[in-house]
Amino acid sequence: MHVDLDQFIAAVEVLRHPELHGRPVVVGGDGDPAKRGVVSTASYEARAYGVHSGLPMRTAARRCPDAVFLAVDKPAYEAASSEVMTVLHELAPAVEVMGWDEAFLAVETDDPESFARQVQDRVAAATRLECSVGIGENRLQAKLATGFGKPAGVFRLTSQNWFEVLGDQPASALWGIGAKTAHKLEELGIRTVAGLASADVAALAARFGPTNGPWLVLVARGIGSTEVSADPYVPKSRSREVTFQQDLTDWDEVRSEVVKIAGQVTGDVLAERRPAIRIVVKVRYKPFFTSTHGVPLAEPTSERAVIEQGALAALEKFTDRRPVRLLGVRAEFGEEDAR
């Protein structure tokens, strides 16, 4: 099963601001729609105006001037999320968390629909949040089923109804196929899920590679892994990035901002209790061109000075001095010790 909270971030905000119930609510950036930033989540009322995740806040304000705009409050969503995940862990032997608002559950039951209703009831009783539940023969089917259950519903996809439900949908409806791949597929004359499912594997392999080509066909046929991991999440990297309200034109300022961000990343590395092995710096230039450079560290470390120096060394690899709109620093961790 796949569980996904409905309009999660907006729902958390409405819970603590009950007067917003039924109103268009848009959460994003620092809540100021005149600034650089995008929508994290819009309530269903705001979505009716064409406001959705990823939309620039300025555009959202134009489409829905009467919406309530709120700043992102990460700790609040993390707290709500962990309440939900605690409930899920009480209900299933294996829960694989996929983000703040979704998880896969490995479940053994004769009646998955009624089990799904129990999940919804238990989550609502504990958190007053609504969720949708997808049921499938594998992760892919369950994940896609959830979307057909929204809001607050349950839907089951199987190998029996897969093409009936999804056959005529665009290929981009599939999990793992985004706009770029969908466009390349269209160049091959493939538009729908059914079309991709019956496509020539050799032709896809030639276009997308020997691994990805055949994989695309399997996804279109609803074939995928059934594994749900109960192992705790172990991050491979920690990063911070900042988009500046005004582009940086002075490279000395760029350097000092990178040091500042590297300091924050050091805090995250220390909290992880594992040393970093590599530091990567990301620069987004005006108008919107992004590039990254990294350096390996001489030895694994959690020391602030070393991480800052690593970030500066990575920054030295950039030769372009165009105005900078975003800076980011990422620390990468090594393999877990074999134990």
Partner DNA sequence: TCTGGGGTCCTAGGACCC
Catalytic residue check, 137? no
Helix, strand, coil percentages (3-state) for the chain, rounded to 5, are: 40, 25, 35
Q: Is 123 an interacting residue with respect to DNA (CB under 7 A)? A: no
Select the span of 109-117, 119-127, 206-214, 221-229 touching DNA (CB under 7 A).
Answer: 206-214
The one among 19, 111, 125, 211 contacting DNA by CB under 7 A:
211
Preceding peptide of 296 cis, ω within 30°: no
Residue closer to DNA by CB (options 93, 210) is 210
CB of 107 to DNA, least distance (A): 20
CB of 94 to DNA, least distance (A): 17
The one among 89, 191, 221, 278 contacting DNA by CB under 7 A:
278
Chain centre distance of CA 187: 28
Residue closer to DNA by CB (options 109, 245) is 245
Q: Is 178 an interacting residue with respect to DNA (CB under 7 A)? A: yes
The one among 237, 257, 302, 303 contacting DNA by CB under 7 A:
237
Residues 6+ apart with CB under 8 A from 332: 236, 237, 276, 277, 278, 279, 280, 294
Q: What are phi and psi of 300, to 5 degrees?
A: -55, 135
Residues 6+ apart with CB under 8 A from 33: 26, 57, 58, 60, 61, 69
Q: What are phi and psi of 272, to 5 degrees?
A: -75, -20
What are the DSSP calls for 13-80, one per residue? HHHH-GGGTTS-EEEETTS-TTSS-BEEEE-HHHHTTT--TT-BHHHHHHH-TTSEEE---HHHHHHH
Select the span of 134-142, 176-184, 188-196, 303-311 touching DNA (CB under 7 A).
Answer: 176-184
Residue closer to DNA by CB (options 153, 328) is 328
Q: Among residue numbers 8 through 47, which ones bind DNA (CB under 7 A)?
A: 29, 36-38, 40
Structure-token pair, residue 332? 């990468």
Tell me which residues are annotated as active site.
Answer: 102
Which residues are at the interface with DNA (CB under 7 A)?
29, 36-38, 40, 53-54, 56, 58-59, 98-102, 143, 174-182, 209-212, 235-243, 268, 278, 280, 287-288, 290-296, 317, 325-326, 328, 330
